[in-house]
Amino acid sequence: MNNNIKIAPSILACDFSKLGQEILAVEKAGADIIHLDVMDGHFVPNLTFGPPIIKSVRSLTNLMFDTHLMVSNPDSLIDAYADAGANIITVHVEACNHLDKTLNYIRSLGCKAGVAINPHTDIKFLLNIIDNLDLILVMTVNPGFGGQKFISNMVNKITAVKEIIGSRKIFLEVDGGINSKNSSQVIIAGANILVAGSAVFEGGNEESYRKNILSLKV
């Protein structure tokens, strides 16, 4: 088991009728971070949840809230998510007119700043903003829906991003179709935060979640 790897369950896959209980269960099961997939129905074709939901569960746990904004207007929403309790705010380069300014503003609010890379995104832009980043998220599916199949050739992109990061203290996160069958590939490629939805919440109870989380670190 690799104890340097952090597991970030995506609550998009949990039972929303008992959201608070689910967050507490994955925390007890060994989750390191809670991943929050925010979708606006415009930047991506699905619609999820907003700041009120995040704020309603913030007091339940001290785990970091990793908020992934899959939205077309992130700059106008950053304050609301920071106020709701986000610790990490990740935006998509395609949605930001002035990415450097956006990242600096996120940091000015006391949050860690991340940028997400879609499967089609050219990673060369990272060279211009790398020192303003705390996290890089490599999407291993096309964003918008949970439960998609892992795109295997994204492993090469993870390796390339890791080379750009070098010795910098920047988290390299992966999200999309991550499970026990492919987690070792992305870890070897350089990822140190694995986002997983159905692969964690399968089984529906704390003991299952514990086994699922441990299986991702092997």
- Active-site positions read 37, 175
Distance CA 186, CA 194 (A): 8
CA 126 from centroid of its chain's CA atoms: 18
Q: Is 144 helix (H, G, I), strand (E, B) or coil?
A: coil
Specify the DSSP element, H or E, that contains 35.
Answer: strand 33-39
Amino acid letter for position 174: V
Specify the DSSP element, H or E, that contains 162.
Answer: helix 154-165
Q: State the virtual CA torsion across 35, 5, 152, 92 in degrees, nearest 10.
A: 40
Q: Are strands 33-39 and 6-9 parallel, antiparallel or unpaired?
A: unpaired
Largest CA distance in the chain: 45
23: phi then psi, degrees, rounded to nearest 5: -65, -45
